[in-house]
Amino acid sequence: MTTNDTTAGAVSGENLDKLNANLRKVEELTQRLTQVLTHRSTHNTALDGPNQELFAKAATAYWHEAFREPAKVLEHQLQFWSKSVTHFVEAQQALASGKLQAPADPGPKDRRFANPLWDTHPYFNYVKQQYLINADAVQQAVDDVSDLDPLEKKRLAYFSRQIVDMMSPTNFLATNPDALEKAVETEGLSLVQGLENLISDLEANNGELIVKLADDKAFELGGNIATTPGKVVFRNKMMELIQYTPTTETVHKTPIVLFPPWINKFYILDLKQQNSLVKWIVDQGHTLFVVSWVNPDAAYADVGLEDYIEDGYLTAIREAKAICGEKQVNAIGYCIAGTTLSLTLSLLKQRKDKSIKSATFFTALTDFGDQGEFAPFLTDDFIDGIEAETEAKGILPSVIMARTFTFLRSNDLVYTPAIKSYMMGETPPAFDLLYWNGDGANLPGKMAMQYLRGLCQRNELATGGFDLMGHHLELGDIDVPLCAIACETDHIAPWKDCYRGVQQMGSKDRTFIMTQSGHIAGIVNPPSKNKYGHYTNDDLGLDHADWLEGAKFHEGSWWPRWGRWIKKRGGAQVPARTPGDSEHPVLCDAPGTYVAVKAKP
């Protein structure tokens, strides 16, 4: 034995000792894992997926299809069998040849399988290709089911896809080359760190598994995120009202009051100076107020949409008018806050109150006739489960909503981050958008059910009217000048559905803008980035397809276009206003205190 051989053996033995030591740490961590799982908070099991009735109906429909068109079903079955057997034979032939190599055709590209070993290593290539064959077979089987209600088939397709995505070989250590390579490279330390990350995520959510998407230690509200200067000038049980410090010597007379969604925190519009819509609006010479909603707990169980309108919208508008000495405001509503702004506008119309001069809607649904990708979650079995959950806890916990939203993009927002965190032992990235995404809020039980039953399921606002606060609220009542911005690839509020709701509003002065990208990136799209363009078409009498076909595309952000629109409704210039007044003393600096309250399951 040479010296080099001896050294190599010693190093190998040392590495093995490190590996064994790290694996012992894994065993020690299991006690902590057992503890958190033993004391985990529970939720209604109906929220975990569809009841067995859906799959029973699907199976029955599939067999009906087999009896009605046996040739088609058999053809698809034989294709699956043929592909699987051929794949197995090719793998056997490769092994028999004595060459440890994958076939020349590595199979279709999929970003989950970026590691070269998926194409070059026979074991990983075999696993990958068989998984893709299986996935295609499941998809084909779902497509073959025709004797099923369209909504139920949509749910079947969604949950089948979830099962297929969950079973990807990348999600398991033994069949993930990236994770295996990292484990060997770090003598098992990556597995220890991964288990630490897993347990930390479980502990943070009382046993519910919500994958942390960003490093929450990298951000501080008011420090390096949500930093636009301003003051909290009013506070009640529902919200804090922030008035932002002017950056221009004069401002438009009519103030703007911005209502963000209360499902998440308002600072999505103030992440950092470079992409802050809050800062941009202030820099355009507007007095801007932003509502920061309370993060409700069980004490808010009986709070409904009427409370958000009365103690949120109407109060914020009243206080902004008083501070500025004006009779009107320009209002903005984002997502669910835009939906509720439409209710508020109908209410004010019926009360003959002209406090709102104009309304802007960001990705706001008012016609829920086509529920899009949320259809699987708006059937009675799931909503019944939410109702039972809210009755038991008084709130719809943020973790339930977060899980629902993330599984709409499960590969990007669940499995890929989970692999990096739990298998690779990586620290989540310091990404402000993902940090915000994980900083959710609970919903009051009553409000959640009003929204889900009355607006989403029964679509009352767009199909006859929604009863609230002693009024029958209708879209046709909305008659103020309005501008609606929707997003081309928005899976939460599809642009065509936002458009359909705007078409039903009674305003003679209506502007509709469709921006590229999705629910967040389409809105948080500063001009300096010059990243996403937008479409306009003045003819809102067309259906959505014809509107888009005739629309003009504009390079760059929609912000300047909306800026010109709101400027026309901003009024004359007056001296810039310092936040608050003698009747509204400054309570604290922006971003305030409500935004810092974390949701508790």
DSSP string, 197-243: HHHHHHHHTTT------S-GGG--BTTTBS-S-EEEEEE-SSEEEEE
If pLDDT is split at 50, 70 and 90, which confidence band does 379 have?
confident
- Between 65 and 551, residue with greater pLDDT: 551
Has residue 3 got a pLDDT over 60?
A: no
- Give the list of residues 6+ apart from residue 45 with CB closer than 8 angstroms, or none: 385
If pLDDT is split at 50, 70 and 90, which confidence band does 125 have?
confident
Across residues 462-470, what is the average pLDDT? Answer: 96
- Helix, strand, coil abundance in the chain, percent, nearest 5: 50, 10, 35
If pLDDT is split at 50, 70 and 90, which confidence band does 79 have?
low
The pLDDT score that the predictor gives to residue 251 is 98
Has residue 4 got a pLDDT over 60?
A: no
The pLDDT score that the predictor gives to residue 156 is 77
If pLDDT is split at 50, 70 and 90, which confidence band does 38 have?
confident
Cis, peptide link before residue 296, omega less than 30° from 0? no
Lowest mean pLDDT among 130-144, 354-368, 572-586: 130-144
Q: For residue range 217-268, list pLDDT tens digits in order.
A: 899 999 999 999 999 999 999 999 999 999 999 999 999 999 999 999 999 9
Give CA torsion, residues 305, 308, 313, 318, to 10 deg: 120
Has residue 105 got a pLDDT over 70?
A: no
Q: For 214-219, which contacts have Cβ atoms below 8 Å and span 24 or more sequence positions? A: 214/428, 214/429, 214/430, 214/431, 214/432, 214/433, 214/434, 214/435, 214/437, 214/438, 215/427, 215/428, 215/429, 215/430, 215/431, 215/435, 216/435, 216/438, 218/430, 218/435, 219/430, 219/432, 219/435
Has residue 206 got a pLDDT over 80?
A: no
Has residue 569 got a pLDDT over 90?
A: yes
Catalytic residue numbers, as ranges: 335
Has residue 71 got a pLDDT over 60?
A: no
Across residues 30-47, what is the average pLDDT? Answer: 69
Lowest mean pLDDT among 343-352, 398-407, 577-586: 398-407
Nearest to 547, CA basis, from 597, 484, 460, 592: 484
Mean pLDDT score across all residues of the chain: 86
Lowest mean pLDDT among 114-128, 136-150, 426-440, 568-582: 136-150
- Give the list of residues 6+ apart from residue 39 with CB closer than 8 angstroms, or none: 206, 207
Lowest mean pLDDT among 68-77, 247-256, 327-336: 68-77
If pLDDT is split at 50, 70 and 90, which confidence band does 88 have?
low
Backbone angles phi, psi at 352, to 5 degrees: 60, 35
Share of the chain above pLDDT 70, in %: 84
Across residues 493-510, what is the average pLDDT? Answer: 96
**Rounded Cα distance, 511 and 502, in Å:** 9
The pLDDT score that the predictor gives to residue 51 is 57
The pLDDT score that the predictor gives to residue 22 is 67
Has residue 103 got a pLDDT over 80?
A: no
**Rounded Cα distance, 167 and 176, in Å:** 12
pTM, two decimals, is: 0.86
Has residue 8 got a pLDDT over 60?
A: no
Q: For residue range 539-568, list pLDDT tens digits in order.
A: 999 999 999 999 999 999 999 999 999 999
Across residues 109-137, what is the average pLDDT? Answer: 86
Share of the chain above pLDDT 90, in %: 56
Which bin fits 474, alpha (ψ -120 to 50), beta or left (φ > 0)? Answer: beta
Has residue 63 got a pLDDT over 50?
A: no
**Rounded Cα distance, 203 and 402, in Å:** 16
The pLDDT score that the predictor gives to residue 466 is 97
The pLDDT score that the predictor gives to residue 392 is 92
Across residues 323-350, what is the average pLDDT? Answer: 98
Lowest mean pLDDT among 111-115, 140-144, 199-203, 269-273: 140-144
Q: Angle 122-144/52-68 helices, nearest 10 degrees? A: 80
Lowest mean pLDDT among 167-181, 376-390, 426-440, 515-529: 376-390
Which letter, b or e, does each residue of 475-507 get, where b requires 16 or more Cβ atoms within 10 Å of its Cβ? bebbebbbbbbbbbebebbbbbbbbbbbbbbbb
The pLDDT score that the predictor gives to residue 34 is 77
Give CA torsion, residues 311, 312, 316, 317, to 10 deg: -90
Domains, in order of start, for the chain: 40-185 (no CATH), 230-376+442-596 (3.40.50.1820)
Highest average pLDDT, of 44-53, 147-156, 186-195, comes from 186-195
**Rounded Cα distance, 188 and 88, in Å:** 32
If pLDDT is split at 50, 70 and 90, which confidence band does 23 have?
low
